[in-house]
Amino acid sequence: QVQLVESGGGLVQAGGSLRLSCVFSGSTFSVYFMEWYRQAPGKQREFVARIASGGSTNYADSVKGRFTMSRDNAKKVVSLQMNSLKPEDTGVYYCSAASFSSTYWGQGTQVTVSS
């Protein structure tokens, strides 16, 4: 059973940076696309970033140029470096592991950006 554990959230002022991490266990890491989603209070969960096994990435338009996702296949860890944070980046950030047959979610980590 895949388990995902996120860390690195916190409170930061606008313009600041945070680095989120997600540790994967329980299966073959390389077969999964890894993704970050976020959910702001009262809003639907939205896509933030995706990274394939080979390292190719996709980002939501709202975070392009500010966020960078990376993965370490040997350590089974993905990271999300978030720079130039804005109050609208506030929310619970979830790590997801997706294959053709399954999708798994972590418990989430809170990110709060104050203005």
The 10s digit of each residue's pLDDT in 2-52 is 999 999 999 999 999 999 999 999 989 988 999 999 999 999 999 999 999
Query: Quick check: 100 pLDDT over 90?
Result: no
Query: Quick check: 113 pLDDT over 90?
Result: yes
How far apart are alpha carbons 45 and 36 in whole angstroms? 10
Q: Is 14 left (phi over 0), alpha (psi -120 to 50) or beta?
A: beta
How far apart are alpha carbons 90 and 14 in whole angstroms? 10
